[in-house]
Every structure is written in C-alpha cells, then in structure tokens.
Amino acid sequence: MSEFRDAQAALSQFRFRIAAAGALVLICFAVLLVRFFWLQAVRYNHYALAAEDNRIAIVPIVPNRGLILDRNAVVLAQNYSAYTLEINPSKISQDLESLINELGKVVEIYPRDRKRFKKQLDESKNFETLPIRTLLSDEEVARFAAQRYRFAGVEIRARLFRQYPLGELASHVVGYIGRMSVSDRERLEDASDVNDERGQDFDSRIDIANYRGTDYVGKVGVEQSYETTLHGITGFEEVEVSAGGRAVRALSSTPATPGDNLILSLDARLQYLVEHLFGDRRGAFVAIEPATGDVLAFVSKPTFDPNLFVEGIDSETWKSLNEAPSKPLFNRPLKGTYSPGSTYKPFMALAALSTGKRTPEQSIADPGYFMFGNHQFRDDKVGGHGIVDMYRSIVQSCDTYYYILARDLGVSAMHDFMKPFGFGQITGIDIIGEARGVLPSPEWKRAVYRKAEQQKWYPGETISLGIGQGYNSFTILQMAAATANLANRGVVMQPHVVRVIEDAVTRAHTLTTPKESYRIPLLPAHIDLIHQAMVGVNKEGTGARAFTGAKYISAGKTGTAQLFSIAQGQKYHAGKTQEHLRDNALFIGFAPADKPKIAFALVVENNGFGAQAAAPIARQVLDYMLEGTWPSNVPPLMTANEKNKLLASAPPQIDKPKSADVVDPAVMLVQALSSLRKQAHPRVSTGE
C-alpha cells in the first residue's frame, strides 16, 4: 500500500515538474515574441536606419580651393592634381612599421615621409586615411597597383595640391596653406569668425562641418585671412559599402562648390621689380593707390618660397629659414616697426600750420644745433643751414627747425595730430597679424612702464620726436598709408590687398574697395605748401640726385633713422659700426604730384642715407609706374602662362629610350589607372 502511495506521489511530482517546465518554456517563448514584436514593430525605424547607416557611408567631397591672382590676372596661387599613397590605420591588422617597410620596397618612402606620417598619426583623432607619400609618378602608381592585394588598408588617391607658380614673389602677402594641425582644428571649432587683434573679422563664415575631409588650411597671408572664401563648400557622396568597408557603388551625390577666386590689388610686375631692386638687402616697401586704398606692392625682403610649406617643411629647411639672421619669414611691412626719421618732417610741418604754431614765412637761424637745458641736439649739417623757413626746412631736411617746433608743439599736440593719419594705429589691412607700432604720448608711457620714474614724461624726450626719432616707431604700412592720406588731401581710404572676390560658379565680381573711412580737416593752402615742399625735395633738395632727368613731377622726402644714440662730441662712421646698428635708409613719396596715382614708403635696413640707398629705388618704381620704363639690369618677369607658351613654341626634344627606363610589366597598368584621376577635380585654368 505504501509503495502505491509513493508511486502516486512521484507521479504527481513528475507531472508538476512537467507543468512547470512547460510553463517556463511558454513564458520564454512569450518573452521572445514580445521582444520580436518590440524589435520588429516598435523599434523598426530605429534599427532599419542603423542598418542603412552600416550599409551606406557618407564620403565628403573636398572643394577646389579658389585661385589667387594679381590685378592683371597673373596667377599667384593655383591647384593641380596628383596621386598620393595613403594608409588607413584603423584597417591595418599588422605592425604599422613593418607595413611601411614593405611599402618602401614597392614605392620609395623617404625618412621625411615617415616623420611626417608619424606626426600626423599622433595628431589624428579619427579614422581618416593619412598620406605616407605624395606626388607619386605614374610609374609608382602602376607598380603599387600591381601589388595592391598585399596591402590591406593602403590605397592610391588622387588629390588636389596647392602651388605657387611664381615661387618667392609676394610670398608674405599671398602666404601659404599647410596640413591642418590639432590647433588649427580647435581654432576652427572654437571660433565663429577669424578675428585680427582689432576684434574685426576678415572672413566670418567658418563652419567646422564644412571642413570634413579637408586636410589643408591657410596658415599666413591672404590664404589665412580669406580661408573660408577660398575653401568653398564641401560636397557629400552616399556610397554603398561592403561588410569589409569597400565601396560598392555610389547612391547619390551633392557636388562640392569650389572656393571663390581672389583678385588682388597687387601688380605682380611692380612687386617683382621692387624685390629685385632690393637685391640681397633687407627692408620693406608698400605702395598704395591713394584714391582707392588698393595696395599695389607689398614687399618684405628677404622673402621665401611658400611651396616649401604646403606638404610640410623638413626640419633642416625650417631651421635655416627660422634662424637666419636676415629673418626671411618675418613680414616686415606688417610687423616690423621703424623710426621714420626725416620722413616725419612734412607731417610735423603740416601740424605746425594746422595748429597755428608756425606760418610758412616764419624762419629760424640754424647754427647747426639746438640747446635744450644742458643737452645739445645736433643738426645733420655741421654749421647749420643758415636762415630756414618752412619750405627750406623740408627741402634741406633741417633738424634744428624741427627740434624747436617739437618743443613748441608739445608731445600731446603732436600725438593728437598724427593719430588720424594712421601713425601708431592699426590700418585695417586684410592680412592678419598687423603690428600697432608706437605713437608716443604721456598716456602711452604710463601704460607701458611700471616704475614711477619711468612713467614720467620728460620735456627732453619731446625734442627728438620732431625729427622722427625717440619713441616714434611705425610700420612701413602705416607710413605708406599716412603718405597716401597726405597725397589724397586728407581723405582716408583703408588699405587692402584683395580687390575683387570672384564667384567661382557665376563669375560675378564683388568689389572689396571700401568707401572713404573719414576725412582729416586740413586747409587746402596748408596741403598745397607741404606738397610743393615735397616736390622741391626731388627737384632741388635731398632727393634731387635720384630724380635728375625725370619726365614727371613727383613729391618725396628722404629719411635716415639712427638705431642708437651717439655720445656728444662723437661722429657717426658707418664703416666702424656693426652692420645691424647702422642707420636705416627711408623714403616716402607720391606721383604725379598734382594727381597722385601711387603713394609709397620704403626702408632699406642698415644701409645709411635715404638719399643714397632708398631714393634710387623710388625713382625706378615711378619710372615703371608712370612711364612704363623697365630697368635694363632687371630681367623681365615671366609668368607661368608665358613659360608654357615659350615651351610650346620650342622644337620638340625626342629622347631615346634607355634600358634603365624599362621596369616590370606593371607599368603597362598606367593607362588602366587613368580612371583614378577622375576621382580628383580637373586641373584649374590659370586664367592668365
């Protein structure tokens, strides 16, 4: 009986277990069904989109960068297409170094290529491809293509490269582009506009999303100031990809909009002429069209080749440029500051007339020095200039006249009069990095110096300001702008180097020439006197020798600026002075005197008297601008287009094949690889 009850209990327990197991199975199936319903019905759109994203890749199409041309359509910056060998680190399974070594057996990879790749790899934050070699020849492309199966994650791409066909010409104005660094990307991400130190923007349409796929950005010059104008609008292509990440087919495409072209106000031939006239000497030259503010020439000597920077400059070349005593990378017209010397005197005379401190007829007797307290301020001419009125003070460059005038005007009156002309002020030129210079005043000194005894303005400090020495320190750009304002009879036009922005699609032109900024209240009679005196400088004064025989009437003023003080009783001897301490030679001027088409300022560093070193450059510049006369000792500028025409007219040279030219059969693949070029944009016409 007990055995029967035990069997019944075991059977009941078995049935319970079967029921529990069945219920568990049903619950599990119910959970699965609910989950399936959730995934297939409720979350369908989400996962369908995710699956589509895995199948479709959005590939950015980098736009053509805009061209940069001079006012006569001479190309200063353009693009060309070439092959690059690129590695996608995220798709490399083997050791990267060994992969590069194996690649080096197929395509030559130089040590500088390895260094640049490693640097870019360290800076890269995403899974983009990085170039290990650029500018591959067709033979190298074919050789790699034949063995491509060996290198997963390595591919050949056709890209656009920047080129500056005239090399060093106007490099400080045009600037250059370079590979985008982490700091560049952070700057683009953080800033909604590109501001200079004035807080004003040149080109405020920065959108970091527009830089997807972009590897290069403007670093200096116009390339930097007008970065987004030149960059264009990035396009996008939807591409279906395989599970391995290979592109299968293109689904849709939004074409890129090329960047706008910039037409500069520069005259490339004038720029070339001035750079050659300087030779190996250091200095700066800026020429402006007074009526418009167009910068006709913007010279900084020595200069450099911007092509060196596009693909990353090697350390040795960078060191030679960066540490050179002549500082070729330093933008002298924009950032260098100089004492104006006697070129300041026409403005001092105009200040005297405008404030009523002098009349044109008032004269002084110049003994060759001016005593202020116990200090003797010497004139440049031993024994003095005799009886000197305002006209003669400018023509003969009499220092004593301006020592006395500075004392009578006072530092504050000089500051207030010179400021509207642009001395010690940001001109607003469309190149980032402009220096302010120093237009001294008691307020300036209190702001600059910390110690109380240094903050005090001493009356003796005012005297040397009258001849453009002392604390006066201005850029050549400011001096050229002030001269243009004087030539333009007080009408101030903001200087600029970009004259026209040309829409790359419609070819519509947008003028950047601004309206007049303001007018300096000057009496016509006062302006006429200063103009006449500056004409006298080139006819009978310190500039007369340089302008002998000129067929036009020009106005000018020579200047010589000391770089250190000479003790009383001693004389300056250039030959006994270290080269970097010798006087700077300066010249300002405009022409024709009655209707100025050009106003300019220049400095030749450590080259002595302005009449000897600077005025001859000014004469040859005006001969070219007004008469079309080209110096016989300067070879003509040959643009890229002219070089191509010359080569096309030359008889063809037929080279016999050499055995060394015969490579493996992979070279035969070159024709088949021509489709690669279609991945890049076609070559851009130079527009000359």
Active site residue 649: no
How is 144-166 classified by DSSP, letter by letter? HHHTGGG-TTEEEEEEEEEE-TT
CA 670 to CA 138: how far, in whole Å? 6
- The encoded tokens of residue 400 equal 């004593």
CA proximity to 150, closest of 110, 104, 102, 87: 102
CA proximity to 474, closest of 606, 610, 334, 605: 334
Pick the catalytic residue: 171, 265, 300, 342? 342
Report phi then psi at 123, rounded to 5.
-85, -20
What letter would DSSP give residue 213? T
3-state secondary structure 349-394: HHHHHHHCCCCCCCCEEECCEEEECCEEEECCCCCCCEEECHHHHH
- Residue whose entry in the numeric block shows the structure tokens 């190309």: 75
3-state secondary structure 416-450: HHHHHHCCCCCCCCCCCCCCCCECCCHHHHHHHCC
- The encoded tokens of residue 561 equal 């600026």
How is 530-585 classified by DSSP, letter by letter? HHHHHHHHHHHSTTTTTTTT-SS--EEEEEEE-SSPPPTT----GGGS-GGGSPEE
Report phi then psi at 237, rounded to 5.
-130, 130
Q: How many helices (H) and strands (E) does the chain have?
A: 25, 25
- 290: preceding bond cis by omega (within 30 degrees): no
- Residue whose entry in the numeric block shows the structure tokens 């300022």: 601
CA 555 to CA 547: how far, in whole Å? 10
For the chain, report the end-to-end CA distance as a whole number of angstroms: 117
Is the CB of residue 234 less than 8 Å from the CB of residue 205? no
Is the CB of residue 502 less than 8 Å from the CB of residue 516? no
CA 123 to CA 174: how far, in whole Å? 27
Report phi then psi at 109, rounded to 5.
-120, 120
Report phi then psi at 79, rounded to 5.
-125, 155
- 3-state secondary structure at position 325: coil
- Residue whose entry in the numeric block shows the structure tokens 């510049």: 621
- The encoded tokens of residue 220 equal 């200096």
CA 600 to CA 590: how far, in whole Å? 6
Is the CB of residue 59 less than 8 Å from the CB of residue 254? no
* Enzyme catalytic residues: 342
